[in-house]
Amino acid sequence: MFLGCSFGMVSAPLVGRQDEAARLMDGLKPVADDVGVLAEVLEPAAEAFVGNLPQALSHLALVNAAITISTDER
């Protein structure tokens, strides 16, 4: 699972689907390691990071998704 795209799904314009976006975000929050670092890709079956670590794009997408959800809740 490419994390940049996964967080991008949260912040995509989900017109009238804010609950779905929040559920996606809740499912992605625990993906980070114990210090909050995200990799480029997560292998779901093994629950292991693959690719570049740390990956700035994944972190940027996480921040953007959090801002989008925060804005939608207002």
The predicted-structure confidence for 36-69, as pLDDT tens digits, reads as follows 888 888 888 877 787 878 888 888 888 988 888 8
Residue-level pLDDT at 8: 86
Structure confidence at residue 74 (pLDDT): 54
pLDDT at 73 over 70: no
For residue 47, give both structure tokens: 């629950």
Q: Specify the range with the lowest mean pLDDT, choosing from 1-5, 14-18, 50-54.
A: 14-18
CA neighbours closer than 13 Å in the CB half-sphere of residue 53: 13
Q: What is the pLDDT of residue 18?
A: 81
Mean pLDDT (the chain) is 82
Q: What's the 3-state SS for the chain?
A: CEHHHHHHHHHCCCCCCHHHHHHHHHHHHHHCCCCCCCCCEEECCCCEEECCCCCHHHHHHHHHHHHHHHHHCC
